[in-house]
Amino acid sequence: MKSITPFLWFDHQAEEAARFYVSVFENSRLGDITRYGPEGPGDEGSVMTVSFELRGQEFVALNGGPLFSFTQAISFVVNCDTQREIDDLWERLPAGGGRVIQCGWLRDRYGLPWQVVPAALTELMRKGTAAQCSRMMRAMLKMTKLDLRALTDAYGRA
């Protein structure tokens, strides 16, 4: 078990959301499902928590009621090796009622914020000159879905 597990609060869609995330990401699996007992606070027998794993990262989803919702103050970054992977996640994560935002950000149908980014972006930003990073940042700020080729072209321009 990981020492830190993200715990996601849903109104009543914890199992549905966990199954959706497991279907989107390769090397993922659904874990244990716990149910509310007679003491509640949910209806007896209804799903309380669902554990699941996405690419080796453990999560727990809770059906806690409508008290809280997700904000962009917390998001999950998905580092992608290829443009094909970016394109696939960009299509699948917001499907069914989510929305795309800007600079690789989107929200899924449950309102959870994600950042779908090329894995190379961090490395380029770390090792690049100020001019290279600035060109790449200017290019990125014009994008909704990140385009790996356009970012690396902007980075490499003299």
Note the pLDDT tens digit of each residue in 61-108.
999 999 999 999 999 999 999 999 999 999 999 999 999 999 999 999
73: number of Cβ within 10 Å? 6
Q: What is the dihedral of CA 5, 7, 81, 96, to 10 degrees?
A: 160
40 confidence band (pLDDT: 50, 70, 90): confident
Q: Rounded distance, CA 63 to CA 121, Å?
A: 35
Asked whether the predicted pLDDT for residue 3 surpasses 90, the reply is: no
Is there a contact between 87 and 116 (Cβ–Cβ < 8 Å)? no
